[in-house]
Structure 1
Amino acid sequence: MARAGIALADWREQGRELDFGGHAIRYWTGGAAEAEPLLLIHGFPTASWDWHYLWRALGERYHLIACDMLGFGYSAKPRGHDYRLLEQADLQQALLRHLGIDQAVHVLAHDYGDSVAQELLARHHEGRIRLASCVFLNGGLFPETHRPVLVQRLLLSPLGPVLGRLFNRRKLAANFAKVFGPRTQPDDRELDDFWSLIAHNDGPAVMHRLIRYMPERRAQRERWVAAMQQGGVALRVIDGALDPISGAHMVARYRELIADADCVLLEGIGHYPQTEAPEQVLEHYLAFRQALEGSDAAATTA
């Protein structure tokens, strides 16, 4: 796959709007509506444009669905809101209902979105949604292996409201330089676009509230890990090995806790594999889906 994505201005124009509890949510669909649905869930602090290098290639095979979650990107960023991962999972389900999708859904998630996907997986086992598969890119699947960068820890401190408002493009660039691979750093244009998504609707003013996902992960750990251990839904981890937040050390823990762990480590890649190495992510995601389709076909003919 050539590294040709979608310009941010074009991406924004293609979005549509959903009302979620009185808040405007920007969402996107792509691919063939009759194909299997693939829900893409972005991470912190960016937005669904993170998937733009993969969007067209995945759309050749699947019905794509993505939104900027509440507090992110082009969606509403209400002040004083008690942002919760559980609410973001509610949002994903509301979007699927809005689109009339009631069949089993495949999920591809990253970072903060991994936690939302874990909640959806737990709900699958509770009979509240049907998942067909779930693939996690770099994210804090286990609180004990999550190594937040300094700015994340400070946002969670009493200084958080002040630090959020002081956050700017220069600080974003400095933090991304630490978590991207040394040879896959974002260029100035990408940094400008990432920053514009964060800054839209004065996003830095709510960053200290969004960061509360870290203690929420700890509170939900046992339920979410049990959901991954339960089986019945095909899982894969595709992980940038050099990520200091959730890299090879997180994958090692995943292999300890999840039976028959299906993991792919991308050498030389950091925290954002879908933008650093989209070709590799696509290759390993499609191989996962091909194997899954093969096992389903074998089960049908057995």
Structure 2
Amino acid sequence: MPLSEIPLSVWRKRSQTFVFRGQSIRYWTAGQGEPLLLIHGFPTASWDWHYLWQPLTQRYRVIACDMLGFGDSAKPLNHTYSLLEQADLQQALLAHLQVEQSVHVLAHDYGDSVAQELLARHYEGLIDVASCVFLNGGLFPETHRPVLMQKLLLSPLGWMIGRAFTRDRLVKSFRQVFGPQTRPSESEMDDFWSLIETHHGPRIMHKLISYIPERRVQRDRWVAAMQRGEIPMRVIDGEVDPISGAHMVERFRELIADADTVLLSGIGHYPQTEAPMQVLKHYLAFRERLALPPLKVACS
């Protein structure tokens, strides 16, 4: 049975607002139990999780926000955007909600990098991360294969490219990264575009794309945190994603001992919207395994 979608208009009405460093941030929270932080990707927003929202809130206290520069949150023009600041934002949101328990993280794309920073901060004693699951994202700069639009935004003419970004350009970019049988409908494209266009989003896209070189700077610190192996991790990855598909998972298996990975056949860069039932199944299986008591070995 397919998961029910939450229309964007309904999703927006359920949002709440808090202020982070003088900027208005939209967030969502529902459910009870262990806190689960959902972190969205570029260039979209937390509505990416809408298929998974209800089934996850039946089990956990689920928390998500539109990060600074994304979705319905503030998009200041004269601002230097940083993955490190986005991690600060996630921690500020948890503090705003008075979350004091260990936090489980489910992240995608740009959000993977924010999650990697939170993992590094866990080992620095700045946050308590209980587990982390990554969907398609550039966990390793050496495996990231940017699409043409990302390359153009990173160029000296990026500010012009961003301001000229349109719904049609978004459709062309998404056509490259979604699975051939799981591309978004015209209605979904309208909604994705609405989230990008809000608050004049295209004019800051060249600023947001600075996360790609920032990943290179933080690469060794983040990979070292992942390699410590004390926090349970899983990768659930759309196999045919040209940006961070099967080739990224292969690298993950090379670098991470006892790597826990799931490849979704025929699925592209947005598995949470392309194959939400599969993502839910594999995520819940991961969490159920964490809840099992340790095996007792009899000695004689």
Cα-to-partner distance string for 1:129-159 (whole Å, 9 max, x where unaligned): 0000000000000000000000001101111
The offset of 1:103, in angstroms, is 1.0
In 2, Cα distance between equivalents of 1:54 and 1:84 = 27
Q: Which amino acid aligns with 1:209?
A: K
Of 274, 294, 297, the residue aligned with 1:298 is: 294
Q: Which amino acid aligns with 2:7?
A: A
The offset of 1:234, in angstroms, is 0.2
Q: Does 1:255 align with 2:272?
A: no
In 2, Cα distance between equivalents of 1:298 and 1:96 = 30
Provide the secondary structure at the position in 2 that maps to 1:64.
Answer: strand
Cα-to-partner distance string for 1:160-192 (whole Å, 9 max, x where unaligned): 000001101001001101100000010000000
The offset of 1:301, in angstroms, is 12
Provide the secondary structure at the position in 1 that maps to 2:294.
Answer: helix
Cα-to-partner distance string for 1:205-252 (whole Å, 9 max, x where unaligned): 000000000000000000000000011100000000000000000000
Equivalent residue, structure 2, for 1:28: 28
Cα 1:63/1:164, change in 2 over 3 Å = same
Cα 1:102/1:173, change in 2 over 3 Å = same
Matches within 5 A, 1:29-178: 29-32=29-32, 35-178=33-176
Q: Which amino acid aligns with 2:9?
A: A
Cα-to-partner distance string for 1:235-274 (whole Å, 9 max, x where unaligned): 0000000000000000000000000000000000000000
In 2, Cα distance between equivalents of 1:301 and 1:131 = 28
Q: Which amino acid aligns with 1:179?
A: V
Equivalent residue, structure 2, for 1:199: 197
Aligned residues: 298
In 1, Cα distance between equivalents of 2:106 and 2:21 = 25
Matches within 5 A, 1:216-255: 216-255=214-253
- The TM-score with structure 2 as length reference comes to 0.98
Superposed CA RMSD? 1.2
The offset of 1:2, in angstroms, is 1.8
Q: Does 1:189 align with 2:212?
A: no
The offset of 1:285, in angstroms, is 0.1
Provide the secondary structure at the position in 2 that maps to 1:281.
Answer: helix
**Structure 1 stretches lacking a partner, 5+ long:** none
Q: Which amino acid aligns with 2:275?
A: A
In 1, Cα distance between equivalents of 2:94 and 2:296 = 27
Q: Which amino acid aligns with 1:90?
A: D
The offset of 1:3, in angstroms, is 3.2
In 2, Cα distance between equivalents of 1:264 and 1:125 = 26
Provide the secondary structure at the position in 2 that maps to 1:255.
Answer: helix
Cα-to-partner distance string for 1:78-115 (whole Å, 9 max, x where unaligned): 00210000000000000000000011000000000000
Equivalent residue, structure 1, for 2:5: 5
Provide the secondary structure at the position in 1 that maps to 2:138.
Answer: coil
- The TM-score with structure 1 as length reference comes to 0.97
In 1, Cα distance between equivalents of 2:101 and 2:30 = 17
Q: Which amino acid aligns with 1:197?
A: L
In 2, Cα distance between equivalents of 1:215 and 1:128 = 24
The offset of 1:300, in angstroms, is 10
Q: Which amino acid aligns with 2:29?
A: T
The offset of 1:298, in angstroms, is 2.5
User: Percent identity, aligned pairs only?
Assistant: 69
Provide the secondary structure at the position in 2 that maps to 1:184.
Answer: coil
Equivalent residue, structure 2, for 1:274: 272
In 2, Cα distance between equivalents of 1:54 and 1:300 = 35
Provide the secondary structure at the position in 2 that maps to 1:132.
Answer: strand
Q: Which amino acid aligns with 1:70?
A: L
**Structure 2 stretches lacking a partner, 5+ long:** none
